[in-house]
Structure 1
């Protein structure tokens, strides 16, 4: 055989053998790859879980508010006149009845004296009419007429004295004369402001709570109040509104502070904590909370058959240790990581993550 033909034949056989071998190898790889993929798909995903157990926990209602006086009133003039006396300095504690603003009394004092003189004259006429009637020297109706004149004169005296008393604006209760609104020489019309009187015994805390919280509160419940400066005082609820604020849909509440001898001003920011009963609750890390597709707050946990499920919860208290929630079984396995990437109903292989949730 020609040498060149032999070489060509050898090369041809080598090429055929090479492509044949590649074809066989491709078939083998193609057969193994679906099997590997099927094997991968058949693997059950793993998830870290922590076990949690419910326990009795005190429900604490937290509310923020401000301190306020027990009573506060703006004292106003009951008649017109010029202010001639302002005997009390601002910030002074006063007893009920203390004069705070005095108006000029000259004309009113004269009217009282005039009315008293007219009353005295009417009394003389009445007494004379009585004596004459007893002797039969005057008609019977003369006595009645004199009595009516005397009564009218007495009423005039009382009216003049009431008008005179209105020139003296006095404290209606014990309290602090917080702010003077009129100075000597000012002219006050009826309703003009003399000053502001506040009663800071006791000091109260006014706050607002949600509808759900208001349903747990009752007058007389004990509370603890922490002021912005760090001071703590015991308190007692004295008012829980049963009508919501139309704008905020919240319910106003008030608590009396037991401040002892401490001085507490009005208008200080205060945080109030009110124990409102006990319930079974579970302590969890806030990071375990998630939202359902419908936007409901809850956690994802593993059921007895190792499937993922969503449980809606309600936070009843938040502490430095975590959030206390209701709505979970007594014992539950919570998904510690990746809860936002696991769908409900997916079967998983739970792996304990002891300590991850604490």
Structure 2
């Protein structure tokens, strides 16, 4: 074999080895790319879910206010006089007509006796004139004059009795003598106060309701009242104002509580709840509520294609067991963990709360 042939064979072998190396290198690069692609592909995230269903739930108007007496009256003197007796202690229940403050009668009793004596004398004159006129021994105009005198005397007696009765300041209705404003020895003029009387039967709850809800309320509607102590009582609306407060644009509403024999003081904080209908609602944990990019409050849930959806909701009621909201499908899977980190439209793998099922 000559030298030329050996050189040609060597060149051929080199070229063959070069092409073989290129092929192996390309295969290795392709394999690496596929491996990188496989390692960079993101897994489908899991979403812990809970099943939620809606049902009919009552809608109610809720407002805060205070308890108050049915009536409050400041009992005042109708005449002048010195207080000589205060027989009723503060906080005591009194019936209508009970003496609260007694004034010195001074000369009023004597004036009454004088008026009664003048009346009796006028009656004698009248009867005598009438008998004489019947016998024709006296003029008839004498009868008319004595009749007028008798009428005037009777009027004077009535006036004296009224003046004497004003010395006894009495309760105008059944209630609690809340505050004594005059003590024995005080001198009262007409219009000055003896004390304050309150009627706590029934106890009233007075609240202010927004204009949005005022039009839905009418007198006679059933309600419930919850006191600051947690005690609850049935109630009934007795007054709904149709004129808004100029400064707050709210309407005054009063409800009469049915407390039975339980004493409820006035002036304590109370919540009034008035049912106004029913609506389909879902009870959820308030911790599931979140905001979307537009700032709307709502809940994230799993759609039929296992993607994340967002439902704006409205809270219609709250209780120790959770919040009642509207705006969700009748039956849905709510995302209970990580809802703040899952965007809408992202595909997820639902996992029931408590762990994946086999």
TM-score of the pair, normalised by structure 2: 0.71
Within 5 A, what are the aligned runs for 1:1-150?
Answer: 52-150=52-150
User: CA 1:296/1:348 → structure 2, altered by over 3 Å: closer, same or farther?
Assistant: closer
Cα distance in structure 1, aligned partners of 2:86 and 2:113: 26
Partner of 2:160: 160
Q: Secondary structure at the match of 1:349?
A: coil
Contact 2:218 2:237 in 1 (8 A): no
> 1: CA distance between counterparts of 2:328 and 2:67?
38
Q: 1:204 and 1:112 mapped to 2: Cα distance?
A: 44
Q: The residue matched to 1:147 in structure 2 has which SS?
A: helix
TM-fit CA distance, 1:295? 6.8
| Length, aligned pairs only | 318
Separation in structure 1 between the aligned mates of residue 292 and residue 253 of structure 2, nearest angstrom: 32
Secondary structure of the residue that 2:241 maps to in structure 1?
Answer: coil
How far off is 1:70 after superposition? 3.2
After alignment, is 333-342 or 189-198 more displaced?
333-342
In structure 2, list runs of 5 or more residues that go unmatched: 1-28
Residue number in structure 2 paired with 1:198? 198
Aligned equivalent of 1:239:
238
Compared CA separation, residues 183 and 353, structure 1 to 2 (3 A): farther
Separation in 1, partners of 2:307, 2:254: 45
Equivalent residues of 1:119, 1:153 under 8 A apart: yes
Distance 1:329 1:111 in 2: 86
Larger radius of gyration: 2
Equivalent residue for 2:176?
176
Deviation at 1:100, TM superposition (A): 1.0
Conserved? CA contact 1:66–1:269, under 8 Å: yes
The match for 2:352 among 344, 351, 354 is 354
Change (3 A) 1:347 1:160: same
CA separation of 1:198 and 1:216: change in aligned 2, threshold 3 A? closer
Q: Which moved more, 1:320-329 or 1:163-172?
A: 320-329
How far did 1:75 drift?
0.9
Deviations 1:65-124 (A, max 9, x none): 333333322111111221111122222232221111011112222222232222223222
Kept in 2, the 8 Å contact 1:299–1:334? The answer is yes
Counterpart CA distance in 1 for 2:181 and 2:142 is 54
Deviations 1:8-44 (A, max 9, x none): xxxxxxxxxxxxxxxxxxxx9xxx9xxx9xx99xx99
Runs of 5+ unmatched residues, structure 1: 1-27
Contact 1:77 1:190 in 2 (8 A): yes
Q: Which residue of 1 aligns with 2:25?
A: none
Q: Distance in 1 between matches of 2:342 and 2:232?
A: 47
1:28-63: per-residue Cα shift (whole Å, max 9, x none)? 9xxx9xxx9xx99xx999987765321122335544
CA distance in 1, matches of 2:133, 2:296: 94
**Conservation of the 8 A alpha-carbon contact between 2:46 and 2:351:** no
For residues 206-244 of structure 1, give each alpha carbon's deviation from its aligned partner in whole angstroms, at most 9, with x where no partner exists.
Answer: 34444455525652525253442x5x3532224241334
Take 2:245 and 2:341, find their aligned partners in 1: how far apart are those partners?
41
CA distance in 1, matches of 2:150, 2:287: 87
Q: What corresponds to 1:265 in structure 2?
A: 265
Taking the aligned partners of 1:185 and 1:216, their CA distance within structure 2 comes to 51
Whether the 8 Å contact between 2:233 and 2:259 is mirrored in structure 1 is: yes
- The residue matched to 2:107 in structure 1 has which SS? helix
Q: Cα offset for 1:264?
A: 3.4
Alpha-carbon separation, structure 1, partners of 2:351 and 2:140: 110
Aligned-residue CA RMSD (Å):
3.9
Three-state SS of the structure 2 residue aligned to 1:154 is: helix
